[in-house]
Amino acid sequence: MQTERIKDMLDGGKPGEKVIVKGWVRSFRNNQFIAINDGSTMRNMQAVVGLDDVDESLRKRITVGAAVEVHGELVESPGHGQTVEVKVSEVIILGDADPEEYPIQPKKHSLEFLREKAHLRFRTNTFAAVFRIRHALSFAIHKYFNDRGFYYLHTPIITGSDAEGAGEMFRVTTLDLHNVPKTDSGDVDVSKDFFGKETNLTVSGQLEAELAALALGKVYTFGPTFRAENSNTSRHLAEFWMIEPEVAFADIHDNMNLAEDFLQYTVRYILENCAEDLEFLAKREADAEKQKPQNERHDMPLTDRMRFVVENAFERITYTEAIDILRNSKPYKKKKFQYPVEWGTDLQSEHERYLVEKHFNKPVIITDYPKGFKAFYMRLNEDGKTVAAMDVLFPGIGEIMGGSQREERLDVLKQKCAEFDIPDEHVWWYLETRKYGTCPHSGFGLGFERLMMFVTGMTNIRDVIPFPRTPKNAEF
């Protein structure tokens, strides 16, 4: 007999069917009722052990966390919460879990505690729900692009270029760190390194995606990216996943339309396909909110926030308009902002939060930032001061996406490289696409884990990726 998933048995199993259930014990009540979970659903299969059917020594080994195989027959369940249960004829212990030592007990564990136990936290309802949703969200993203004629492009993980120019990169080397070869002038002799040049883990696949878009038309990347920024916040990871579409013959307005449609589609997909897990996470959030002071609580429950994003157009404003709104705001006038609000300085998260959560109370796309603090590749606007950049900000999350129309004019791009101290020989291949058949094109990068936070209600980014990498933490 084949082992079926518990989900399928609970959804479609008929009384009288002989079944084999394999999973992990969630609880064992009254020496009689085993709740078994196999990860296919939030719901457990109840297996009822007759008092004489299983001997005492075996019964003792049915403990929380143990892996079991149960043989029996489906019967109608008198209990609430499930339609069928298993009347057990045989229990086989596949793997014991010593109750004195097994750390995941059927009680509330703090998320901080579970982070230390990331190898076992999949076995909690919360993390099983989060990682089932993570799968569904990845799938929705691929489906969205596939259905619209985009090609999935694998861009390199090891790279010699710094796409964002922020210099926050992890060095990749095979040089002996105890005996680093030096040049006559005392610098590291990178010609002796594996690639014969300095290489790093990529911060973005964008530059390579652009090359492909200028032939394949519409492409996207979906891969790991790495940033050595030493920011120990609840929204930053050193290793995170980014989705980067790149579209030829598209300007900044097409880019905004794509971003909005894409985000609404993926959030709707989760609402429609992950109802059971969402319901659990919404309840979890509502319970957690009760511990918080009134002013820190969400005004809407999780699924309402998601529906709101799906059903309402995003607000679109320019950076210059954002500065005006901020300078006329109460917190600005009462000197509540920590950072200055002046045209030409970057918006800080306190400013973004005010705009998104207080002023507009919905997702906001801010465009046309001053060129000084945005990347070299963004297209210079007619005013010569701003670039065709766009940041998408979400309530409770902050920046979820960054993107732009790209500078397609060779002379302007060369000038920008000079301003940003990027030597031509580092980006000669990128410049050549502007020399041969250049065209307007645009794209953006979505921080996958930031969107995960939005669709799960988890407030720390470490809790939406299986094994988070953050400063001083690369366990597992």
Contact flag: residue 443 with Mg ion (CB under 5 A): no
What are the structure tokens assigned to 7, written together?
A: 């989900």
Residue of 189, 167, 186, 187 whose CA lies nearest to 176: 189
Does the protein bind Mg ion through residue 447 (CB under 5 A)? no
Stretch that binds ligand 4AD, among 39-47, 148-156, 358-366, 395-403 (CB under 6 A): 395-403
Least separation in angstroms between residue 280's CB and ligand 4AD is 25
Site string for Mg ion, 23-52 (x = CB under 5 A): ------------------------------
Is 206 a binding residue for ligand 4AD by CB under 6 A? The answer is yes
Pairing of strands 45-48, 33-37: antiparallel
Smallest gap from residue 416 Cβ to ligand 4AD (A): 15
From candidates 314, 319, 444, 454, binder to ligand 4AD by CB under 6 A: 444
Q: Is 217 exposed, middle or buried (0-12, 13-18, 19+ CB in 10 A)?
A: middle
Query: Is 240 among the residues that bind ligand 4AD (CB under 6 A)?
Result: yes
**According to the binding rule CB under 6 A, does residue 38 interact with ligand 4AD?**
no
Going by the DSSP 8-state scheme, the letter that residue 423 receives in this structure is -
Beta carbon of residue 374, minimum distance to ligand 4AD (angstroms, whole number): 9
Residue 402 near ligand 4AD by CB under 6 A: yes
254 near ligand 4AD (CB under 6 A): no
Q: How far is the CB of 238 from ligand 4AD (least distance, A)?
A: 7
Q: Which is nearer to ligand 4AD, 69 or 315 (CB)?
A: 315
Helix (H, G, I), strand (E, B) or coil at 1: coil
At a CB cut-off of 8 Å and minimum separation 6, what does 208 contact?
153, 155, 156, 221
Q: Quick one: which segment of 65-73, 236-244, 363-371, 407-415 binds ligand 4AD (CB under 6 A)?
A: 236-244
Minimum CB distance to ligand 4AD, residue 27 (Å):
36
Which tokens in the block code for residue 322?
């954002």
Q: What is d(CA 456, CA 130) in angstroms, rounded to the nearest whole number? A: 7
Instruction: Give the type of residue at 453.
Output: M
Residue whose structure tokens are 């690639």: 195
Assign residue 81 a region (left: φ > 0; alpha: ψ between -120 and 50; beta: otherwise).
Answer: left
Question: Which amino acid, 68?
Answer: V
Q: Sort strands 199-201 and 218-226 into parallel, antiparallel or unpaired.
A: unpaired
Q: Which is nearer to ligand 4AD, 123 or 462 (CB)?
A: 462
Strand order in the sheet with 158-159: 158-159, 199-201, 171-172
The whole-angstrom separation of Cα 3 and Cα 19 is 7
Among 38, 162, 164, 285, binds ligand 4AD (CB under 6 A): 164
d(CA 40, CA 236) in angstroms, rounded, equals: 30
Cβ distance to Mg ion smaller for residue 230 or 328? 230
Q: How far is the CB of 236 from ligand 4AD (least distance, A)?
A: 4
Token pair in block for residue 411: 């002379």
Q: Are 210 and 433 in contact (CB under 8 A)?
A: yes
Note the Cα 381 to chain centre separation in Å.
32
- Segment 134 to 163, residues that bind ligand 4AD, using CB under 6 A: 163
Of the two residues 84 and 397, which places its CB atom closer to ligand 4AD in the complex?
397
**Ranges assigned E (strand) in 314-429:** 315-318, 364-370, 386-394, 398-405
Select from 60-68, 127-135, 335-343, 440-448 the region that touches ligand 4AD (CB under 6 A). Answer: 440-448
Q: Which is nearer to Mg ion, 402 or 440 (by Cβ)?
A: 402
Q: How far apart are CA 421 and CA 401, in angstroms?
A: 26
* Identity of the residue, 170 or 280, whose beta carbon is nearer to ligand 4AD in the bound complex: 170
Residues of this chain, 392-411, that bind Mg ion according to CB under 5 A: 402
Shortest approach of Mg ion to residue 225 CB, angstroms?
12
Q: Which H or E run includes 71?
A: strand 67-76
CA distance 107 to 271: 28
Return the number of the residue (23 or 245) whose C-beta is nearest Mg ion. 245
User: Could you say which of Mg ion, ligand 4AD, none residue 223 binds, taking C-beta under 5 to 8 angstroms by partner kind?
Assistant: none
Task: Name the residue nearer to ligand 4AD (CB basis): 75 or 118.
Answer: 118
When CB distances are held under 5 to 8 angstroms depending on the partner's kind, the choice from ligand 4AD, Mg ion, none that residue 401 binds is ligand 4AD
Specify the stretch interacting with ligand 4AD by CB under 6 A; choose among 14-22, 135-143, 285-293, 442-450.
442-450
Q: What is the spatial distance between Cα 291 and Cα 206, in angstroms, rounded to a whole number?
A: 42
223 touches ligand 4AD by CB under 6 A: no
Question: From the list Mg ion, ligand 4AD, none, which binds 236 (C-beta under 5 to 8 Å, kind-based)?
Answer: ligand 4AD
Q: How far apart are CA 122 and CA 22, in angstroms?
A: 17
Residues of the shown chain interacting with ligand 4AD in the complex, contacts defined by CB under 6 A: 163-164, 204, 206, 227, 229, 236-237, 240, 242, 244, 399-404, 443-445, 447, 449-450
Residues of the shown chain interacting with Mg ion in the complex, contacts defined by CB under 5 A: 402
